[in-house]
Structure 1
Amino acid sequence: MLLLILGLISGIIAALICFSYVLIVIKCKQKANVKVGETIQKFKQAAGPKPWPIIGNLHIVGRYAHPFAAFTELTAQYGDIYALSFGHTRCLVVNNLELIREVLNKNGKYFGGRPNFVRYDRLFGGDRKNSLALCDWSQLQQRRRNLARRHCSPRESTAYYVKMSDIGCTEAELLMQSLKYVISAGAAFDIKPWLLKACANMFSQYMCSLRFAYDDAEFDKIVGYFDEIFWEINQGYALDFLSWLQPFYQRHLSQISHWSSTIRKFILYRVMQQRELDIDLDEPDKDFTDALLKSLVEHANVSRNTIIFMLEDFIGGHSAVGNLVMLALAYIAKYPAIASSIQAEIDVVTNKSERRVNLLDMPELPYTMATLYEVLRYSSSPIVPHVATEDTQIAGHGVTTGTIIFINNYALNTSAKYWDEPDQFRPERFLQQTERKLSADSDSGIELSSPTYQLRKNLPHFLPFSIGKRTCIGQNLVRGFGFVLLANILQDYHVGTDDATKLKIYPASVALPAKCFSLTFKPR
């Protein structure tokens, strides 16, 4: 009897494997037929490795430390656009600048969707539509971005930019004062929790006019949860494509739900509740929270849930800044000459620390900004995948609705075609030499000048914040607060490490684990 049962189970599994394989092959073959208007057109099909039953091509990606290294290596065999199957999900990988621009710019309206991963739903109250970054493109998405743009994309020479500078500098100064007590001990320590709390305060002051004490236990917990979520979004799991694995991920999914619901309660009770009672529709917006609360009153199609999730989304952007600066400090500890170059330009601009660095100094501190850009390039931060929302084509290859498109930013950032010695960490690659006029020599009448540097502006192959309609709307906040924080730390301290081998940095990710590594800080 037992043998009969085992035989039946084996037969069922074998049948499922065969059915899965046939289904994958059929789906792959159908991809050449694309509906354009009312007609079915045939396009050539992107090449790719043959999928295995059930898992598709997941076994290929699993051989590499991170999927984008696999994507890049496969281009040698299949070209700059090729197909993969992850589970039963059809995917296309695009690997060069022209194709990436075609997807994100030229045909962006066809690729405005996001993957329907269960993890994304859990992060946003059970529905990823609540997220600006992880929802499909829609009229609501467009309205939310329009509402956020004025406050969350501050431009130079505006009041919002000055406000960002003032808030960033004040918080950086408070961080420096707090660190004195920790650094005085002289031992190496993990500065990441301090960076994250400083960044969280920068964002909450800028968007909500609220600051929290570093020893506020609830604030500390929320900042930690935001960081866990930032790490989570930058990871990939088999569950994303093999939904039948969900029972094995139940504990992990429950943890994700707990992080997000706890953050939501904090924003509701510590940020929104009192502000909602005090809102004055006749007064100018004090901050982003005011704008959100007024939209709740003025627009019938804006729900309370919408604005709470929007605020959560944008405040959560502080995790990107904290992780970016933490990575920059790690590279500086590894390559001390970088710190020397940054500190040299800081000393010139501040007249050897007669004042603090502020955001308006950014044009005069190009090496500092170049270091942050090199972190973004070297870490090769992947862009969240896109999904085709209707039948279309890429470079003559048929793409049907629901196909996931992986934008291989890693290939752009590590290609010798675009970068000299791409495997080397060199901030100078983002600088170009210019000449700064000094004065005229009174004896000869010849005007004297000395070489100086400025950031290179024309780098079309460098896309750390994506391009097109889904470009990162908070990128100016990330750049601005990241610059202020890094410059102020290096203005006061030499950064080092007791053991460079312990500086574990993950390729293709700006995200670092909650507990990463320790650094040393010695007063200048």
Structure 2
Amino acid sequence: MFFITLYSQLSFLFIIILVIVILLIIYENLNIRKSKTSDNGLLEPPMPFKIPLIGHLHLLGGYDVPYKAFSELGKKYGNIIKLQLGNVKCVVINDQKNIREALITKGHHFDSRPSFERYARLFSGNKQNSLAFCDWSDVQKTRREMLIMYTFPRAATNKFHNLETIIQNNVQSMVSKICENNVVGIKPMIIQHCGNIFTTHFCSRQFQNTDKEFVDMVNNFDEIFYEVNQGYAADFLPFLMPLHKRNLKRMANMTANIKKFVLERIIGDRFENFDAADEPSDYVESLIQHVKKVKSFDWEMALFALEDIIGGHSAVANFLVKLFAFLLKEPTVQQRIQNEIDNAVGIEGRAIGISDRNKLPYTEATIFEAIRLIASPIVPRVSNQDSSIDGYKIEQDTLIFLNNYDLSMSEKLWDEPKKFLPERFLKNGSLVKPDHFLPFGGGKRSCMGYKMVQLISFGVLSGLLQHYTIEPFETKEYKIPIGSLALPRDPLQIKFTKRAVSL
């Protein structure tokens, strides 16, 4: 009898709690669209109903790309939406006008980065050691300025010519490998040669693709690149971080091995032997010179900057793998690129190079179209002060999600956005870049390596298609992950068929 009574009481209590929760949900949803005015006259962004502890994390479930959830929320609540993800206050910004306001007009209000423990551990517990994940500072401004001549080499300069030669040499190496076996595991080949392009360009160090330490280095970078591009609930619910203990230890071992490679195989005795009065010959010597001349810029910070920029090859390599995966389904696109190449190099059949870019607008448009379809997110910002977007209040220390997925896949902005159509970036035979195409962000925190992505991708794509046509090795469908540049260690194999034209 006692247990029956207790059960009845608990059931009644549960019903009361359930009714209260339902009433709260109804109340929240009735008021969800009502914009409240803050003390300074700005509107408070609308906010969906949140659940205790997790906030709005449940709204991101069920989507292969989390940013799709932001697009759906935008349809219901508007272009500025306030969210609580775990213990992190966030705002989602949709629409080209609002994103440009956050990136450019008020970019100085939103130039900090999230403080995720997972990222900090990759940089000795200090996110300020990172080029991409640090807050804005005078040190970051200096680091960007030092990189400009290497990441944005101007046409007709020695830096540009040297980069072109480096890319052509690596393309020739890939062509030789393909000649030995026309079916190739595309990702290992691409990441190793992109790694060599970066180490040669930035560090004046070239490695054999049979060098185990070098191969381990690029594989470690690739694993880390994949890791930082994954979203985990633990980033917003720190009490879950112990669940990632084993993975964090694995990442720590990888970063330690990368640092060892950089110190032993790239730096060597260069720090001791370089005279700060001399003109630097590469980025390594630029860093050494700066450390020796500017005391506020220490050697550990310089090493992190070097590792970070070398690691940029992973982004380029993963993008190229996805680009080739797109082209497996697009024989007509391949043919148009090859026609452009043939017209550019003439009857002598010389090697195509990045100096030919202005002659191959369709090839460049193909690269843009792949970037658009991948819809990789803009790195989130954090507001460094109270501010506003489109008249809505943004509190200091709010994490800002800029919905690049919506810009890339919106049916309002693009005709048939799910189709691979490079010609959407052409007008009267010339390359055009619409204002709503913002894959690399904008303003002072725009991607530092986007020109390297374009140059290397152009050189590798045109260089390989000059010699080969590609097709799937197997008939099974290959699904190209979108919403992130990063790829797992993928078994994608590509069949390269020698072109009938003799080059």
Give the number of aligned pairs. 476
Q: Which residue of 1 aligns with 2:14?
A: none
Q: Which residue of 2 aligns with 1:467?
A: 442
Q: How big is the shift at 1:89?
A: 1.3
Q: How big is the shift at 1:500?
A: 5.4
Q: How big is the shift at 1:466?
A: 0.9
Listed as ranges, the gaps of 5+ residues in structure 2 are: 4-9, 11-16
Q: In the alignment, is residue 365 of structure 1 matched against residue 341 of structure 2?
A: no
Q: Which residue of 1 aligns with 2:110?
A: 111
Distance in 2 between residues matched to 1:245 and 1:281, nearest whole Å? 47
Q: In the alignment, is residue 195 of structure 1 matched against residue 171 of structure 2?
A: no
C-alpha distance after superposition, 1:180-239 (max 9, x if no partner): 2232xxxx4421111111111111111010001000001101101111122222211111
**Pair 1:309–1:455, CA change in 2 (3 A):** same
What TM-score do the two structures reach when normalised by structure 1? 0.87
Distance in 2 between residues matched to 1:89 and 1:419, nearest whole Å? 33
Q: Which residue of 2 aligns with 1:140?
A: 139
Distance in 1 between residues matched to 2:348 and 2:298, nearest whole Å? 48
Q: Which residue of 2 aligns with 1:321?
A: 316
Q: Which residue of 2 aligns with 1:455?
A: 431
Distance in 2 between residues matched to 1:63 and 1:155, nearest whole Å? 45
CA contact (8 A) 2:67 2:403 kept: yes
CA contact (8 A) 2:178 2:184 kept: no
Distance in 2 between residues matched to 1:482 and 1:353, nearest whole Å? 24
Q: Which residue of 2 aligns with 1:84?
A: 83
For 1:284, the aligned partner's letter is E
Q: How big is the shift at 1:43?
A: 2.5
Q: Which residue of 1 aligns with 2:382?
A: 387
Distance in 2 between residues matched to 1:134 and 1:237, nearest whole Å? 16
What TM-score do the two structures reach when normalised by structure 2? 0.90
Q: How big is the shift at 1:118?
A: 1.2
Q: Which residue of 2 aligns with 1:128?
A: 127
Distance in 1 between residues matched to 2:276 and 2:398, nearest whole Å? 44
Distance in 2 between residues matched to 1:299 and 1:492, nearest whole Å? 48
For 2:193, the aligned partner's letter is A
CA contact (8 A) 2:326 2:480 kept: no
RMSD: 2.4
Q: Which residue of 2 aligns with 1:282?
A: 277
For 1:371, the aligned partner's letter is T
C-alpha distance after superposition, 1:481-503 (max 9, x if no partner): 11101111111111100345441
What is the 5 A alignment of 1:497-516?
A: 497-499=472-474, 501-516=476-491
Q: Which residue of 2 aligns with 1:491?
A: 466
CA contact (8 A) 1:504 1:516 kept: no
CA contact (8 A) 1:381 1:410 kept: yes
Q: In the alignment, is residue 298 of structure 1 matched against residue 293 of structure 2?
A: yes
What is the 5 A alignment of 1:341-352?
A: 341-351=336-346
Q: Which residue of 2 aligns with 1:252?
A: 247
Q: How big is the shift at 1:179?
A: 2.9
Q: Which residue of 2 aligns with 1:67?
A: 66
CA contact (8 A) 1:125 1:257 kept: no
Distance in 2 between residues matched to 1:133 and 1:234, nearest whole Å? 12
CA contact (8 A) 1:353 1:491 kept: no
Q: In the alignment, is residue 217 of structure 1 matched against residue 212 of structure 2?
A: yes
Distance in 1 between residues matched to 2:426 and 2:163, nearest whole Å? 25
CA contact (8 A) 1:325 1:372 kept: no
For 1:177, the aligned partner's letter is S
Listed as ranges, the gaps of 5+ residues in structure 1 are: 8-13, 35-39, 434-452
Distance in 1 between residues matched to 2:477 and 2:213, nearest whole Å? 31
Distance in 1 between residues matched to 2:230 and 2:347, nearest whole Å? 42
Match for residue 417 of structure 1 among 405, 412, 421: 412
CA contact (8 A) 1:495 1:522 kept: yes
C-alpha distance after superposition, 1:152-179 (max 9, x if no partner): 2212232222221121112211222233
Q: Quote the sequence identity (%).
A: 37
Tell me, what secondary structure is at the counterpart of 1:344?
helix
Distance in 2 between residues matched to 1:83 and 1:155, nearest whole Å? 42
Tell me, what secondary structure is at the counterpart of 1:412?
helix
CA contact (8 A) 2:178 2:496 kept: no
Tell me, what secondary structure is at the counterpart of 2:487?
coil
Q: How big is the shift at 1:373?
A: 0.7
Q: Which residue of 1 aligns with 2:153?
A: 154
For 2:412, the aligned partner's letter is K
**Pair 1:32–1:134, CA change in 2 (3 A):** farther
For 2:127, the aligned partner's letter is R
Q: In the alignment, is residue 479 of structure 1 matched against residue 479 of structure 2?
A: no
CA contact (8 A) 1:154 1:160 kept: yes
Q: How big is the shift at 1:322?
A: 0.9
